[in-house]
Amino acid sequence: MLIQSPHDPAFIQDPYPVYDTVRAAGPVMFWQDYGMLAAFDHATVHALLRDRRLGRAVPGRTEAPAHLGAFDAVERHSLLELEAPAHTRLRRLVLHAFTSRRIAGLAGDITDICADVLAHLPDGSFDLIPAYCQHVPVRVIARLLGVPEAMGPDLLRWSAAMVAMYQAGRTREIEDAANTAAGEFATFLRGYIEERRSDPRDDLITELIAAEEDGARLSPDEMIGTCVLLLNAGHEATVHSLGNAVKCLIETGSTGALTPDRIEGTVEELLRFDPPLHMFTRYAYERIEVGGHVLEPGDEIALMLGAAGRDPDVFNDPHRFDPDRPKPAHLAFGGGVHFCVGAPLARLEMQIALPALFALAPNLQVAEPPKFADAYHFHKLDRLMVRA
């Protein structure tokens, strides 16, 4: 049994020693603080991500309490919370709009956005998270959706409030804020979708309206759920991938690995080495034996993505950052039918934003010891004070 508070200061700053201890003893163990089994090794996590006997849809899901009605209305239509056949249909329709061609076509926009944000960085020491790591992804998401980039502050506020629902230590205050944010964002999107029906543009919302397969189209609620997911999952993960990456590159002296011939491999190693999401859960839909333990139908299990990326059975010298490491697949984007639909966009943003930052400030240094936030199961920096 593992007894480890996700709020423990030492664990927040460096969870990897705990992962190593559990992996060596387990690698599947009951985590008392969460009241569920947790898998810490790459092989088990990889297998369970692809096991159709488990899924994200809550077994026997009931109506949400009244104070979470708006949040629940969005979640019920989210790819993240559905299973086949509803998930299969929705994901196919979304991918009709969210194509690799559309994502690749954003490269010029991302480059321009990075250049503009970098041109307005503060002088002296400053916090890179809000100054760069937040601004770039939120403007990319706004441009992708086709909403005004001036709405960035609203998008950030809505995303932060809703994502807090997935962190340890959820309170009624957090729930109320998330419900308000979900309602405000859904109301805005509903109006914007109607505008795009009569005035189509070259943006994702227009593409989602047009997406069709076998005569089926996305409902307004499904479009809202998809847009909210892209904002919350895509934006939040990219912000903290960038923050963790800059910290790692500076501390390991690895900025030379951002050259065009190495950048793709460097980004994959950054995602393995210190991903922004460390835990992703699944529900069992039938009786399953996992690592000497039994999951009964309805039981939840934590898949420890952060621990899987440091498994010595898969990655040689796993606690060493090596941008030229041979690339066994990391699991930072999950796997199986719920593999992150925004992974290509996140990769592209990192491949452009990181070289752009260090091209402007090749001698960028950390101005004070970085500190991770009490936000598990996310592993994200509270702030990252830097100076050129």
Output the domain CATH number for residue 240: 1.10.630.10
Cα separation, 72 vs 66, in Å, equals 10
Residue 351's CB is within 10 A of a number of other CB atoms, namely 18
Structure tokens at 353: 């934003």
Q: In this structure, is residue 151 part of a structural domain?
A: yes
Q: Are 245 and 350 in contact (CB under 8 A)?
A: yes
Rg (CA), the chain: 21
Q: In this structure, is residue 18 part of a structural domain?
A: yes
Number of domains in the chain: 1
pLDDT digits (tens, 9 = 90+) for 170-229: 899 999 999 999 999 999 999 999 999 999 998 999 999 988 766 788 899 999 999 998
pLDDT digits (tens, 9 = 90+) for 252-266: 999 999 999 999 999
SS3 253: coil
pLDDT digits (tens, 9 = 90+) for 96-132: 888 888 899 999 999 999 999 999 999 999 999 999 9
Cα separation, 162 vs 74, in Å, equals 10
Q: In this structure, is residue 188 part of a structural domain?
A: yes
Q: In this structure, is residue 26 part of a structural domain?
A: yes
Q: In this structure, is residue 140 part of a structural domain?
A: yes
pLDDT digits (tens, 9 = 90+) for 50-92: 999 999 998 887 888 999 999 999 998 998 899 999 999 999 9
Q: In this structure, is residue 3 part of a structural domain?
A: no
The residues, any chain, with a CB within 8 Å of residue 81's CB and separated by 6 or more, are 56, 57, 58, 75
What is the mean predicted confidence (pLDDT) over 6-22?
Answer: 97
| Closest to 254 in 3D by CA, of 354, 181, 383, 331 | 354
What is the mean predicted confidence (pLDDT) over 28-42?
Answer: 97
The residues, any chain, with a CB within 8 Å of residue 146's CB and separated by 6 or more, are 192, 196, 201, 202, 203, 204, 205, 206
149: pLDDT strictly greater than 80: yes
pLDDT digits (tens, 9 = 90+) for 302-351: 999 999 999 999 999 999 999 999 877 899 999 999 999 889 999 999 99
**Domain, as residue range, for 381:** 9-387
